[in-house]
Structure 1
Amino acid sequence: SSFSQLGFLAGDADTLDYIATSGIDTTSLPAKLDPRIFFNISARSSAFICGSQGSGKSHTLSRLLENCLLKSSTSRLDNPLSGLVFHYDSFISDLQGTPCEVAHLSSNPNIKVRILCSPSNVQTFKRTYSGLNVDIEPLMINQQDLNTKRMLDLMAVNTEDGKMPLYLHEITRILREMRIQQQNSDGSFNYAQFKQRVELSPMTRAQQAPLTQRLDTLESFMPKSQTVATSKKTKKVADAGGNDWSVKAGMLTIVDLSCPCITSEGACALFNMCLSLFLEQTTEIGRVVALDEAHKYMNGGSEASTLTNALLSSISLQRHNGTRVFISTQEPSISPKLLDLCSITIVHRFTSPDWLRCMRSHLATLDNDEGLTTNSKLKLDNVFNQIVKLKVGEALLFAPSAIVKVTKTEGESGVETHEIQRLGIEYLQIKIRGRVTADGGRSVLALCLICHSVRRVQVSRPVLQSLVEPLRLRLHHSVALHLQLKQLPGCLGSRQHLGDLLSLVRLPPGIQLICVLHIQLLLPRQFLMEQYNNFFHILQRHYSILCPQHITRRTIR
């Protein structure tokens, strides 16, 4: 059956509101008042999720992946899929970064999560994902996984406009000759041989510069033994290395290339290679590919264009390769072509009219031209008004092929038939369901405490309590504390008084202190360095993630 595997995704907002206001007993709802909306896991589909920051799009992506990977009370899943997620964030330091929210699916032991990261960022990622049940591996590409097509994609060769730099013509010639040799010898791609041919080519240094830049990026993700010429004695060593790309049910692989050393263009090139390796595996297990925060790396560059084309090909052939594609982004304008081919569009809250204009020409419901009638304009304004007023976790669902109603009819011969009603050019306002696994998208509230002329530390305790008291009921949030202390008296150098000071930041139940973002100490002259060190060590003992870089020390007169 085409509906053998289903996942509970959301509820119809209008029906839920009606049930809430009418006081109907929810334990015995008639079928026509069932508000649940299910995602058909069996069907090969693609979803485009967009919305402003904090509107709930990452939560929606996680719920879709949860349905595809996990057997739970919210889904009917006999054969879990295997997932691949791409993530890139430029906001990362040498010490710690922001984990991909999808990684919190690892809170359920039935989902095995593996993180593939840049080899230059392994230790940072171990700290970043230290609180999650995930395996951290450096992304390693074996030369046996390289081929002519992937090398051309890495070079961002684009023949659509008929223009290519001279060095790309030379690279194409080298790859063509190597491919002929491989066909005759029934061998595989040899990167060391390719590099040797490049060095012997008649290209000038200026022509080799952009090529060298791309090859350096590739080599940083390859075993060192494969990036130099190898002899027969070392061939076995050179053949070793590379990640395992075999497809396993219930396994989620996150390729997180957040790293100061990797640009968004380089991330796109590597994502494209990983996508190809994942899809080429022969398997009977269904697959799902997801792009998290796609606007951070899907720009107008040639590498992003190559990745877009690969995704378009995957969506077009999803019936043959058994792949579902989910794209989560803030900006719907990143790739109109992807929006055209996606069968489901989930729109969370945004306030940009430009985004609506972009979507208008790619969604049948919002189809618009210069000859708009008055009714059409009113409908468009009404849709935008609904989008702007959406709450966190609410969205508009556009899915022309979605089945919204089945009517039973009996013909003259007494034979019962079923008439299916599809959503078509209409849309639904929905509320995304709660999570089964841990929530990785909790908003972080910044709480700033400023103590002026502290005489007795205990006096400021009610001040802090009054600040955090309104947050008691918002248990789904975490709190980041920004503690700014001004004009500290010298007596605070003692451990007893420092302990009293730290007791101020013990937050009430339900509020979790996840980090101390920054502590600015404006120190008077009498505040000795020894007292400062005592203060720092006590803070560090209480909050192990605190590091010296988070503290700014400045002496005032």
Structure 2
Amino acid sequence: MSSKLASQTTRQGEKRLLSHARLDDRDSKDHELKTAPIMTREAYISAGGRASLPQRGLLGSVVENAPLSALVCGVQGSGKSHTVSVILENMLLPSSPNIGTVVKPLSGLVLHFSEGGPYSQPCEAAWVGKPVAGSGVETPPVRVFVSKSSLKTMQEVYAPLGDAVTVEPLLFSQEELDAQAFLSMMAVGQSDNVPLYMQTVLSILRDLGEKYTYQGFKDELHERKKKFNPAQLAGLEQRTALLEAFLDKRPLGEQRAAPSRFAAGQLTIIDLSDPFIDPTSACGLFEIITRLFVRARVDTGKVLVVDEAHKYLSPNRVTSGLTKELLSLIRQQRHQAMRIVISTQEPTVVPAVLLDLCSVALLHRFSSPAWWEHIAKHVSADIESKEAFDKVVNLQTGQAILLAPSGLGMAKESTVKVGARSAARTLGQFGRKCVLIKTRLRVTMDGGASVLVVST
């Protein structure tokens, strides 16, 4: 009797360990359901609705409860920035029955860079903080950090948003400027020809090791640079001047605590639109702020938007700088509770390895065959290349081709019974299927609408 009972116990244990083996039998604990980056409404209901997916948003639709990495591309006026703003609404706005369920708003960071000057345009993501009049939508606080030298200009640029945003100077404390931050600003590894004086800098950093402080490093560098020739000295001072411009020089007791830049339910925008900041310098600063964002404790998930990436990302700098930081984040997104959205007009500037790792691609309208060829090499699609490109060229504003192999939808599955053939709809992943979607309307202000000579 005891032998029979032991045998039953063993069989029950085996069944429990193999309960996940049936591909067509899913429940709320299923890993593919919990981590699907996107799904259809029908799939959402079939998967168990809110019991399986407690946090979601309507794009068509984005499930922001799980980490994801997305590429959003398209020419100006195709709906690219609108889509990015909709994704941010889904992740930052407290629960709204019209757009989804947000039990725990995320912490958002947007990296933005343009030419700068008084005729600059505000980052379009900032309009997420301004509700449509009379809508009653509770919007997230938006904080915009800019270079100190352009503070007044950028305050005027963001003035149309009123109290929806606050514009502040971007200043780092000495504690935040660790050895990695210094190397980022020195652009070490981003050039094939590293100046000889950088060997001295690296030697100082190695000698200081864990005892590194920014002031201690400066003191040691001051002694050693006495041996530099004028050309080396000029190069070093040029690289350190920008870092000094972003250093908070107030007494330590008066400096702002680093975590205050990021908070749950808050959108932080780093806008480095400044005529005195070039793309390489912007990448160095973005790399520092991204690293601080990853380290910040906000007690929720995070979303990082690389906005207008074509203005500062380089396809040739895959193993260093900001691109390397983004690669590391995407590869560890599940462990960092991170969502990464790369928005660009020109997908050819996005390094191939980033395209390979993105779990979602949203392709708005564009007409360049070179762009499509670059994307087609790195995305999974079961459609002939010419036919797919024709579809992209003819997309209407707001429409997009969605490629999301791990996304979920309902598909017809043919079954043969005695004397008849039937087609049942089952829940499954998109795989290599192309899905045509149209982004929903926004519930916050749209600051990126086209300006016409005559409005109708």
| TM-score grouping bracket, smaller chain normalisation | 0.7 to 0.9
Q: Identify the match of residue 428 of structure 1 among 413, 432, 435.
A: 435
Structure 1 residues 192 and 303 mapped into 2: Cα distance closer, same or farther (>3 Å)?
A: farther
- Post-superposition CA distance 1:401-430 (Å, at most 9, x none): 1111178999xxxxxx99532111111111
Supply the distance in 2 between the matched residues of 1:210 and 1:269 (Cα, whole angstroms).
16
Match of 2:195 among 159, 165, 168: 165
What is the Cα deviation at residue 176 of structure 1?
1.3
Task: Note if 1:443 corresponds to 2:436.
Answer: no
Once the two structures are superposed, residues 385-411 of structure 1 have per-residue CA deviations (whole angstroms, 9 ceiling, x without a partner) of: 11111111111001111111178999x
TM-aligned CA deviation for residue 240 of structure 1? 3.7
Structure 1 distance, partners of 2:37, 2:89, is 9
Give the strand-richer structure, 1 or 2.
1
Does 2:75 align with 1:68? no
* Partner residue in 2 for 1:128: 157
Distance 1:124 1:164 in 2: 35
Q: 1:114 to 1:398 in 2, by over 3 A?
A: same
Check conservation: 2:259, 2:297, Cα contact below 8 A.
no
Q: Measured at CA, do residues 304 and 83 of structure 1 come closer, stay the same or move farther in structure 2, by a change above 3 Å?
A: farther
Contact 2:39 2:63 in 1 (8 A): no
Superimposed CA distance per residue, residues 52-104 of structure 1 (whole angstroms, 9 cap, x where no aligned partner): 111111001001111011122211111110000000111x32x3420010100
Q: Write the distance in 2 (CA, Å) between the matches of 1:418 and 1:210.
A: 65
Tell me: CA distance 1:406–1:392, structure 2 relative to 1, closer, same or farther (3 Å).
closer
Quick one: distance in 2 between partners of 1:390 and 1:304?
A: 35
What letter matches 1:241 in structure 2? Q
Secondary structure class of the residue paired with 1:444: coil
Q: Percent identity at matched positions? A: 38
- 1:269-288 matched pairs, under 5 angstroms: 269-288=284-303
CA distance in 2, matches of 1:303, 1:97: 29
Where 2:431 maps in the other structure, the secondary structure is coil
Shift of 1:160: 10
In structure 2, what is the equivalent of residue 342 of structure 1? 358
Map 1:15-30 to 2 at 5 A.
none
Q: Alpha-carbon deviation of 1:331?
A: 1.1
> Structure 1 CA distance, aligned partners of 2:36 and 2:449?
27
| Counterparts in 2 of 1:295 and 1:176: CA distance versus 1, 3 Å | same
> How far does residue 241 in structure 1 lie from its aligned partner after superposition?
2.3
Letter in 2 for 1:364: S
Determine if contact 2:40/2:408 at 8 Å carries over to the other structure: no
Closer/same/farther in 2, CA of residues 242 and 206 from structure 1, 3 Å limit: farther
Task: Return the match for 1:401 from 402, 406, 415.
Answer: 406
1:176 and 2:206 aligned: yes
Native 8 Å contact 1:400 1:426 kept in 2: yes
Cα distance per residue 1:158-178 (max 9 Å; x no partner) = 2997x7432121111111112
Greater radius of gyration (CA): 1
> 1:360–1:65: structure 2 CA closer, same or farther, 3 Å change rule?
same
Match of 1:81 among 97, 103, 106: 106
| Counterpart contact for 1:10–1:36, Cα < 8 Å | no
Q: Which runs of 5+ in 1 are unaligned?
A: 13-34, 183-188, 226-236, 367-375, 411-416, 448-467, 473-557
Measure the CA separation in 2 of the matches of 1:260 and 1:251.
28
Given that residues 112 and 251 in structure 1 are in contact (C-alpha distance below 8 angstroms), is that contact kept between their aligned partners in structure 2? yes
Q: Is the 8 A contact 1:10 1:38 kept in 2?
A: yes
Aligned partners of 1:298 and 1:304 also within 8 Å: no
Q: Which residue of 2 aligns with 1:153?
A: 184
Contact 2:248 2:255 in 1 (8 A): yes
- More RCO (CA 8 Å, sep 6+): 2
Query: Distance in 2 between the 1:297 and 1:409 partners?
Result: 49
Tell me, yes or no, if the aligned pair for 2:130 and 2:444 is still in contact at 8 Å: yes
Choose from 256, 259, 262 the match for 1:245: 259
- Amino acid in structure 2 at the alignment position of 1:41: E
User: What RMSD over aligned residues (CA atoms) do the two structures have, in Å?
Assistant: 3.0
Measured against aligned partners, the alpha-carbon deviations of 1:7-59 in whole angstroms (never above 9, x if no partner) come to: 999999xxxxxxxxxxxxxxxxxxxxxx9821111111010011111111100
- Going from structure 1 to structure 2, the CA distance change for 1:262 and 1:9 (only over 3 Å counts) comes to farther
Runs (5+) with no aligned partner, structure 2: 1-27, 43-57, 132-137, 416-423
Task: Judge conservation of contact 2:360–2:403 (CA < 8 Å) in 1.
Answer: yes
> What is the CA–CA distance in structure 2 between the aligned matches of 1:36 and 1:69, rounded to whole Å?
14
Q: What TM-score, normalized to structure 1?
A: 0.65
Who is 2:333 aligned against? 318
CA distance in 1, matches of 2:139, 2:425: 38
Contact kept? 1:349, 1:387, Cα under 8 Å? yes
1:212 CA displacement: 1.6
